[in-house]
Amino acid sequence: MSLEHRARRARTKDVGQELTGPSHSHIEVTPEEHGNLFFWHFQNKHIANKQRTVIWLNGGPGCSSEDGALMEIGPYRLKDDKTLVYNDGSWNEFANIMFVDNPVGTGFSYVDTNGFVHELEEMARQFVVFLEKWFALFPEYEHDDVSTTTYLTGPI
């Protein structure tokens, strides 16, 4: 099954509600070390004055961006260890939001043990590869405001 098929097929349903177009998958950034970055993308519920995409990176390294997705600004909240509930304060109200586990080896991202990132420049190169492949996979977002104004955010 192709990555595109997996990403588009991987839909998540909220309790009683379906969000618009959530998708998640892995994108390979270092084939020689099997390095793959995990992403979880949610479409906006409404469009403000223009289509925007916000990319959330939790930081660390070593902290999964799924913390931001499930405990901070994502469309779901963890109610308990088995239940997700809708987050009325989610940032996807007026912007697409994508959570990325970066660098490889963080959260749901993975890599061979000899492929962990040791330098910031290496991590940046991998993230650029990720973005290039993500936009190739989802060309409908290439005209979002992220291409002219970059919205990268996360806890500092």
Question: What is the structure's pLDDT at 17?
Answer: 43
pLDDT, one tens digit per residue, over 106-142 is 999 999 988 899 888 999 899 999 999 998 998 888 8
| Cβ(111)–Cβ(69) below 8 Å | no
pLDDT, one tens digit per residue, over 74-118 is 998 888 888 889 998 899 988 889 999 999 999 999 999 888 998
Residue type, 123: M
pLDDT, one tens digit per residue, over 29-68 is 999 999 999 999 998 888 777 788 888 988 766 789 998 8
Rounded to two decimals, the pTM is: 0.79
Question: What is the structure's pLDDT at 98?
Answer: 92
* Residue 43 CB partners (closer than 8 Å, separation 6+): 19, 20, 21, 22, 92, 96
CA distance 59 to 79: 24
Question: What is the structure's pLDDT at 2?
Answer: 43
CATH of 3-153, one of 3.40.50.1820, 3.30.9.10, 3.20.20.100, 3.40.50.150: 3.40.50.1820
More confident position, 115 or 156? 115
CA distance 32 to 25: 19
pLDDT, one tens digit per residue, over 12-34 is 333 334 445 568 899 999 999 99
Query: HSE-up of 32 (CA within 13 Å, CB side)?
Result: 4
- Kindly state the tokens that stand for 49: 């004055």
Question: What is the structure's pLDDT at 110?
Answer: 94
Instruction: State the residue for tokens 């961006």.
Output: 65
DSSP 91: G
Cα angle 139, 57, 77 (rounded to 5 degrees) comes to 95
More confident position, 148 or 143? 143
- Kindly state the tokens that stand for 109: 């991202």
**Would you list the domain boundaries of the chain?**
3-153
Question: What is the structure's pLDDT at 16?
Answer: 37
